[in-house]
Amino acid sequence: MKHVWMILALGVTLTGMNNATAHVDQPAKPAATAKSTDDPFLWLEDIRGTRSMDWVKQQNALSTKHFVDNAEFASTRDSILEVLDSDARIPYVNRMGSHLYNFWRDKTHPRGVWRRTTLEEYRKAEPQWEVLLDIDALNKAEGKRWVYKGAQCLKPAFERCLISLSPDGGDATVVREFSIPHKAFVKGGFELPVAKSQVGWIDEDTIYVGTDFGPGSMTESSYPRIVKQWKRGTPLSVAAAVHEGKPTDLAISAYHDRTPGYERDFVSVAKDFFHSELYQRSGDKLTRINVPTDADADAHREWLLVRIRSPWTVDGTTYPSGALLATQFDSFMAGKPHFTVLFQPDAHTSLDSYAWTRHHLILNLMDDVKSQLEVLTPPLMATPSGDWKREAMPGAPAMSTISVVDTDPDHSDEYWLDVTSFLTPSSLERGVLGSAAAQTIKQEPAFFDAAKFSVSQHFVNSKDGTRVPYFEIAPKDIQLDGSNRTLLYGYGGFEVSLQPHYSGSIGRAWLARGGVYVIANIRGGGEYGPQWHQAALKANRPRAYEDFAAVAEDLVKRGVTSAKHLGAEGGSNGGLLMGNMLTMYPQLFGAIACEVPLLDMKRYIHLSAGASWMAEYGNPDTDDWNFIKTFSPYQNVSKEVHYPPVLFYTTTSDDRVGPVQARKMAARMQAQGHPDVWFYENLEGGHGAGADNQQSAHMHAMAYDFLWDQLK
């Protein structure tokens, strides 16, 4: 099972191709935790302190006056909001029993409604939905500003759920038990206060819980260090300890597999984002599932799948990095593994993801960052060492992405696919393997005139000769004279792949204006498997920045744009990318938007959840600082260098990266006398930078208008 805490990676956020979405933020530890005393802006690390928030309000007022208080901004924002609030969007669903569940936000329900319907009803153009929980009505009744963060429901009945609600859009949530038949929270049910909790059902009266149990119960990364088993009707204080990790671990969690006939319990010890140990729990005994710590192990029915990040030798056979292996679970635990290679990468192809149905396994592959699907059928129990049958699923349109949205692995071979590309609105398809071919159930409307544009894929050699791909969406009649306003987007970290994806917001706010949009598939991502990611880890992090710079230079060389017309944008880890484009390659860009960024690499492990990313960047409190300092924008910005205009934005409630990184960078650049350094901080929204569609549209519009105006 891919580790639950991987969802808390820095993540692709906000104005990229995807719209994004412990303790409540506390002031950072005093400056004594830093070895350096030459930082005059440590006071901005007091997240909600009076002096810090006065500075934020002043900056917000300046940015609002300059970018927001005009008709152009209102038009851009309203155009994006129309996309985000459109009733014609696809209401994506997941199956739980006989119903399809959906969470939906629109103009009438800005914080959203959790609802369900039947397949028969969902097929209709306008389905009738049964509303289970109205977040806006809940907020009105309780005087809160809750942001819905998901629900875990107990199968097979799916009548009791554990619902997570954030008070401000951050990762820290309350957890409250909810009854679907009564459409109400359960009085006296399971409930946890605000924390970065991990919970999961064991049975109707028992759950696993990892939360803030008090001092010392959270890791240095701000996630649970202790997981317990909690019985209904008993105080949390007497919950039985299952496992305690070390303060330096990333997180500890446990889960119960309720698959009929294969009920098992597991404990996961995440050492960092790419190393973990998985144990099977039987009573009080934990038995290690002995795969490499950098591999993902997934037990499903009689099978164990192992996805490896580095070469692994077993019984004289070496399996390559990026391979997916299968063996019988019981045989493996008995020390008698017999592996079948389900996927082996090559120079162009990697495994993006996989999904089980009742009798089959769907592999989602990337061939030069474009989707392919395969269906594998395991041998029968009577012949467990037999061959897996393999066949291709119908291919996607050119330059497209197919994602498996949902399956029903306990009961059927039903599958749901999302098919999308840069210029083709997403479609939602449903099929049943072996019987019914996929049919389009829902189709997203077109939000801009795609007939005016074309998509192409290009490759450029980076500084060290590595071949780096990028996608370009441009007007069909583009003149290659260097005059086109071009926006280059990138991420390059945490194995995140940037694949073709339709965005009505980008189409309206950038393409429809005549702009060119470019996605750079730089190292650090997962486009070509683990090796592509590992090529930009720690001391090799600058390879990602060299790749992005190479794409920028190639766009100029090909005549698509010129430096003064080329903008760059990225968020989170992509914000660190932007910070390094600013400090390393300022001559290549006419403007930069740096969103919910990581920038102070000297202090990052002491800020918010920063300690959890040391496997990606290194530990600046050790000799790693010798290489980290080469890509720490906050330390490398200089008053002697001319920088392009830059907009930093973040959120007060971001308890993952935190707002202090962007605050300090903007303050330092302004103090050095650099013109055109802008800052904006939204109060809500967490790491996604928007608690509702209105806030998201505001942030999108600010970035796009800033870049468009600066690149003219």
DSSP string of 104-118, one letter each residue: E--SS-SS-EEEEE-
Tell me: do 511 and 643 sit in the same domain.
yes
Question: Which residues contact residue 481 at a Cβ distance below 8 angstroms, ignoring those fewer than 6 apart?
Answer: 559
Tell me: do 533 and 440 sit in the same domain.
no
Domain final position from 430, 446, 462 = 446
pLDDT at 428: 97
Is residue 385 among the annotated active site residues?
Answer: no
3-state secondary structure at position 361: strand
Q: Where are the alpha helices (DSSP H) in 456-599?
A: 504-509, 530-534, 542-557, 573-584
pLDDT at 10: 56
Burial class of residue 292 in the structure, from the number of CB atoms within 10 Å of its CB (0-12 exposed, 13-18 middle, 19+ buried) = middle
3-state secondary structure at position 595: strand
pLDDT at 38: 82
Residue 118 within a domain = no
Spot the catalytic one: 166, 253, 371, 572. Answer: 572
* pLDDT exceeds 70 at position 495: yes
Tell me: do 436 and 458 sit in the same domain.
no
Tell me: do 499 and 586 sit in the same domain.
yes
Residue 385 within a domain = no
Tell me: do 469 and 513 sit in the same domain.
yes
Tell me: do 487 and 569 sit in the same domain.
yes
Q: How confident is the model at residue 383 (pLDDT cuts 50, 70, 90)?
A: low
What is d(CA 302, CA 287) in angstroms, rounded to the nearest whole number?
A: 17
Q: How confident is the model at residue 608 (pLDDT cuts 50, 70, 90)?
A: very high
Amino acid at 491: Y
pTM for this entry: 0.94
Amino acid at 388: W
What is d(CA 668, CA 584) in angstroms, rounded to the nearest whole number?
A: 17
Is residue 275 among the annotated active site residues?
Answer: no
* pLDDT exceeds 80 at position 162: yes
Could you please report the per-residue DSSP string of 90-107?
A: ----EEETTEEEEEE--S
Tell me: do 659 and 601 sit in the same domain.
yes
Residue 272 within a domain = no
Closest to 660 measured CA to CA, from 9, 19, 157, 34:
34
Closest to 414 measured CA to CA, from 162, 2, 122, 179:
122
Tokens 């997240």 belong to 47
The neighbour count for residue 191, using CB atoms within 10 Å, is: 14
Q: What residues are paired with 173 via a beta bridge?
A: 195
Give tens-digit pLDDT for 392-443.
886 667 778 999 999 999 999 999 999 999 999 999 999 999 887 899 999 9
Per the structure, the complete domain to which residue 399 belongs is given by: 350-377+395-446
Secondary structure letter of residue 446 according to DSSP: P
Amino acid at 32: A
pLDDT at 496: 96
Count of structural domains within the chain: 2
Give the tokens for residue 515. Answer: 């702009």
- Burial letters 244-271, b for 16+ CB under 10 A, else e: ebeeebbbbbbbbeeeeeeeebbbbbbb
What is d(CA 133, CA 138) in angstroms, rounded to the nearest whole number?
A: 8
Tokens 């409604």 belong to 113
Q: What residues are paired with 602 via a beta bridge?
A: none
Residue 653 within a domain = yes
Question: Which residues contact residue 100 at a Cβ distance below 8 angstroms, ignoring those fewer than 6 apart?
Answer: 93, 94, 116, 117, 118, 119, 122
pLDDT at 7: 37
Spot the catalytic one: 243, 687, 698, 700. Answer: 687
pLDDT at 435: 86
**CB-based contact 374:393 (threshold 8 Å):** yes
Residue 155 within a domain = no
Tell me: do 416 and 462 sit in the same domain.
no
Could you please report the per-residue DSSP string of 41-52?
A: TGGGGSTT-HHH
**CB-based contact 254:228 (threshold 8 Å):** no
Secondary structure letter of residue 224 according to DSSP: B
What is d(CA 693, CA 69) in angstroms, rounded to the nearest whole number?
A: 19
Residue 285 within a domain = no
Residue 117 within a domain = no
**CB-based contact 211:198 (threshold 8 Å):** yes
Q: How confident is the model at residue 111 (pLDDT cuts 50, 70, 90)?
A: very high
Angle at 101 (CA atoms; ends 97, 106), nearest 5 degrees: 175
Backbone angles phi, psi at 310, to 5 degrees: -140, 160
What is d(CA 658, CA 25) in angstroms, rounded to the nearest whole number?
A: 8
Torsion on CA atoms 118, 119, 120, 122, rounded to nearest 10:
90
Residue 207 within a domain = no
Give tens-digit pLDDT for 32-71.
333 445 899 999 999 999 999 999 999 999 999 999 999 9
Closest to 150 measured CA to CA, from 111, 198, 103:
103
Give tens-digit pLDDT for 680-697.
999 998 899 888 999 999
pLDDT at 147: 96
Give tens-digit pLDDT for 241-250.
999 999 999 9
Tokens 């003064």 belong to 564
Tell me: do 415 and 518 sit in the same domain.
no
Tell me: do 520 and 435 sit in the same domain.
no
Backbone angles phi, psi at 71, to 5 degrees: -70, -35
* pLDDT exceeds 60 at position 238: yes
- CATH number of the structural domain spanning residue 642: 3.40.50.1820
Tell me: do 451 and 565 sit in the same domain.
yes
Tokens 């389900």 belong to 342
What is d(CA 358, CA 641) in angstroms, rounded to the nearest whole number?
A: 60
Question: Parallel, antiparallel, or unpaired: how do β-strands 646-651 and 677-682 relate?
Answer: parallel
pLDDT at 396: 62
pLDDT at 437: 83
Tell me: do 466 and 588 sit in the same domain.
yes
